[in-house]
Structure 1
């Protein structure tokens, strides 16, 4: 498929889409998302016409892969896909420190990638894309929460356009081994709430399961705060485990890295592949900054509460936990 990644919302000609994945993904798409060739074609046409006429959207990608991010996430409910696209565009402008200029050649970004905190493990037996997050690999003495969020967006953005991921969704493994108060302290409570709201409403991410492993006691209250920002449906897909051994009962062990008993993937090879992928898609990542929406009316969607206001209701118990 020849893909035009321009941000012109009214191109002279739209790209032509052809489904080229293995048949198992066609079946998943039809069974889980209600996607057929006819529905897909009709939905893309409606989305493109809507973007062309949208008074607040100034520039936007209209290629099939980009629009299918939102259509597949919302199971081809066009109103919900449109709302998520609006929020995605507004989010990028409301929080440019997190989502813009995601340049894999930036020196700081390369240092973060080299830390190997985020690893794309591949697809499991159900066709879901599995991402491993080893939180201990983030250096809180060297980097800020803003830089950590930007680093998180790199593997997400390159998988948003991956059709296997769009259809199969994500399994996220959060390994809290050796996670310390110092790692947590770089985050403000307001930022945590806003990030969770972005995940819940604005990022085109089909979250199938989240497995949190070895969550330390001092982080439980903040984790509970983050959970309150998520939908009931998403909260039911989050599972906590005391150990990786326990978590492996729910995961494809063959996808794990050699850091874990039974894992066979080389973390350094996974890092090499990630660097290769983000470098190859650098132009695509930077081109996202060319999209523009009048975000004024959307900014109220995100929490404007101060940390002090949040702390009055949450941090008292958080502090109690940390000193016990």
Structure 2
């Protein structure tokens, strides 16, 4: 059985060859068709002329899956050599229709999204678009996005990868709150960063892309001071980033020793979770008998009723390997999305003030002319009255 350390070695080698970098030029202009394709088959593209067109550059994918995993990929994901080549080709064509985004075209990078979405090109494309957009929307989260930046989290024991894979060939990412997490020193966002980076590193491996990963979280010793860091806004942010920026098949999320205070946290997070993620969340409490139905005892630490020895907070070998990959995980740069210049709009107060001035100016001119007109009219009326009085006096003297 392959060990996670071997997977990590493979991932390091692949990442050094295929770390996604942004294209230097924007893609050709085009309009985005409305609506998704009618079916996964149509997403693969009947218009594709030849799968060989995919194999035109150094970023071409070469399958490294073993025979058993290839069969699993075909049964669960619908992946065959032809399907894979056509899907990659049509995904690239789809990307050409978004000239505002500088996509990474490395096929090994694109394949993560295709496998996570079972080779439905439209879903994979939407996921990649969201991936790019969220990197721009949350620069604070992706700033300094590399292993050494979260070493303080790893030193506190979470997360770590168990030394053996489960029976389905999946690595198990474990976290145990050992009482060393001080929320005043760093927030849950740092922990989330660490988990996301570990998953991204694992998913570099083809086998993990097909088999998926399992998350195991021990919430013992978590109290109100920790739970309060999970505000609704933080819960929404982390859930959205995870579901769109980590193209991984998350096959199970197991919580043990969860305190009552975590009920409020789960309540905050669930509205932002996809249904399939919620369905894969299991609460075991302190019942390790139910846990062993999903994760074999042979790979579980003794603290959780397993046979693999005590939970190794230092996990020196794995942590040293992970920290050695000290580079930017994110392929996104500040100019990844060509930002369109927005026309400046006058604010309501500014527009109102300008309008009032113009009206007042015009009104002032009209007011001045009106005053001159009314003064002249008054003079005429006064003259007319005087003439009328003079005429009346002349008439009276004649009469008498």
TM-score (norm 2): 0.66
User: Is structure 2 residue 79 aligned with structure 1 residue 35?
Assistant: yes
Partner of 1:68 in structure 2?
A: 111
Aligned pairs for 1:2-151 within 5 A: 3-9=17-23, 13-58=57-102, 60-106=103-149, 109-121=150-162, 122-136=164-178, 137-151=180-194
Change (3 A) 1:226 1:105: closer
Equivalent pair of 1:10/1:52 in contact (CA under 8 Å): no
Could you list the per-position Cα deviations for residues 277-308 of structure 1 after superposition, in whole angstroms to 9, with x for gaps in the alignment? 3423x235265547722589xxxxxxxxxxxx
Q: How many residues align?
A: 292
1:238 to 267, 275, 281: 281
Please give the alpha-carbon distance, in whole angstroms, between the structure 1 residues aligned to 2:339 and 2:238.
17
Please give the alpha-carbon distance, in whole angstroms, between the structure 2 residues aligned to 1:259 and 1:294.
51
Equivalent pair of 2:188/2:229 in contact (CA under 8 Å): yes
- Give the number of the structure whose residues are more often strand, by fraction: 1
Please give the alpha-carbon distance, in whole angstroms, between the structure 1 residues aligned to 2:339 and 2:248.
21
Please give the alpha-carbon distance, in whole angstroms, between the structure 1 residues aligned to 2:83 and 2:89.
10
Please give the alpha-carbon distance, in whole angstroms, between the structure 1 residues aligned to 2:166 and 2:62.
24
1:225 to 268, 281, 293: 268
Please give the alpha-carbon distance, in whole angstroms, between the structure 1 residues aligned to 2:277 and 2:147.
30
Report the secondary structure of 1:71's partner residue: helix
User: Is structure 2 residue 318 aligned with structure 1 residue 273?
Assistant: yes
Which of structures 1 and 2 has the bigger CA Rg? 2
Equivalent pair of 2:227/2:265 in contact (CA under 8 Å): no
Displacement, 1:32?
Answer: 0.7
Equivalent pair of 1:158/1:278 in contact (CA under 8 Å): no
Please give the alpha-carbon distance, in whole angstroms, between the structure 1 residues aligned to 2:182 and 2:316.
17
User: Is structure 2 residue 202 aligned with structure 1 residue 159?
Assistant: yes
1:191 to 207, 214, 234: 234
Partner of 1:179 in structure 2?
A: 222
Could you list the per-position Cα deviations for residues 1-30 of structure 1 after superposition, in whole angstroms to 9, with x for gaps in the alignment? 894435243798342322222222111111
Report the secondary structure of 1:174's partner residue: strand
Equivalent pair of 1:258/1:267 in contact (CA under 8 Å): no
Could you list the per-position Cα deviations for residues 113-134 of structure 1 after superposition, in whole angstroms to 9, with x for gaps in the alignment? 1112101125211122211122
Please give the alpha-carbon distance, in whole angstroms, between the structure 2 residues aligned to 1:223 and 1:6.
34
Q: Which range is displaced more, 212-221 or 142-151?
A: 142-151
Change (3 A) 1:290 1:256: farther
Partner of 2:384 in structure 1?
A: none
Q: Which range is displaced more, 7-16 or 174-183?
A: 7-16
Please give the alpha-carbon distance, in whole angstroms, between the structure 2 residues aligned to 1:54 and 1:65.
20
User: Is structure 2 residue 256 aligned with structure 1 residue 213?
Assistant: yes
Structure 1, unaligned stretches of length 5 or more?
Answer: 297-324
